[in-house]
Amino acid sequence: MMTPREYNRQDRYLRQVTFSPLGEIGQRRLASARVLLIGAGGLGSWVSELLARAGVGFIRIVDDDSVDWTNMHRQAMYSEADAEAGKPKAVAAAQRIALINSEITVEANVTRLAAGNIASLAGDVDVILDGMDNFTSRFLVNDYAVSTSLPWIFAGVVGAQGQVMTIIPSVTACLRCMYDAPPPPEKELNAANTGVLGPAVATMASIEALEAVKLLSAPQPPTSPGAILVLDLWNGSARRIESLSPREDCPCCGQRRDGR
């Protein structure tokens, strides 16, 4: 007679292992994968839960913010008690993940990403995931990822519009191939100055998490990386910008020159 624990261990991933493009081999790859998630807000909270449920073996969460009431409509991991207490998001997310999947490792880092700590945070992972809310941090990640040939997944959402792109250094365009520099802070759109809808955040986070699962579970992703998926969920429109190659004059990847 199997104990409930043994039964759960065998059947936890049964429905996704049954999906043949993933299969048992892909599931084992997920179990050994290591992910750095920068930001545990709207995108990050959903992404971390989806990856924990998928069985990604190690998730490092980096966020220096605390839960507040303005987060509650779109940030999946948090309770009213978390907002009332002003609990650090990285800690609250790690506690929630421990309840979801006790067989994986989650590491909470209550710190802000910076040039001085990115190497220690990202040096032992397989992919960096975007839960960030500003382009300055994204450019820091992009430049580090390109300099170390580390894949990362760019994602963003404001209002009801979002975009996702998997960036693989030397294979795809990087963020600086598309934008030479971050926009000035006063011109950057974000949830605070533009608003954001919870279902739009959940949709884009689901796509980002799926891109991570594809990247981590197969030697070659089943779809070509570097394509940008752009959705306007309020108007019900979608477009796909096909894979872009590294720009020869890119100050980061084209010349393999750090743009920081």
Q: In this model, does residue 39 exceed pLDDT 50? A: yes
Read off the pLDDT band of 101 (50, 70, 90): very high
For 214-234, write each residue's pLDDT tens digit.
999 987 765 667 889 999 999
Query: Can you tell me the distance from the alpha carbon of 94 to that of 100, in angstroms, rounded to the nearest whole number?
Result: 10
Q: What is the DSSP string of 110-124?
A: -S---TTTHHHHHTT
User: Residue 62, exposed/middle/buried by CB under 10 A (0-12, 13-18, 19+)?
Assistant: buried
Query: Can you tell me the distance from the alpha carbon of 159 to that of 142, in angstroms, rounded to the nearest whole number?
Result: 24
For 116-126, write each residue's pLDDT tens digit.
999 999 999 99
Is residue 107 classed as helix, strand or coil in its secondary structure?
strand
Which stretches of 218-256 are DSSP H helices?
Answer: none
Name which of 104, 105, 107, 106 is nearest 9 in CA terms. 104
Class of domain 14-241 as given by CATH:
alpha beta
Q: Where are the domains of the chain?
A: 14-241
Beta partners for residue 105, in sequence order: 58
Query: Can you tell me the distance from the alpha carbon of 165 to that of 232, in angstroms, rounded to the nearest whole number?
Result: 15
Query: Can you tell me the distance from the alpha carbon of 77 to that of 100, in angstroms, rounded to the nearest whole number?
Result: 11
Query: Comparing 23-32, 90-99, 173-182, which segment has the lowest mean pLDDT?
Result: 173-182
Nearest 5°: the CA angle 222, 252, 220 is 15
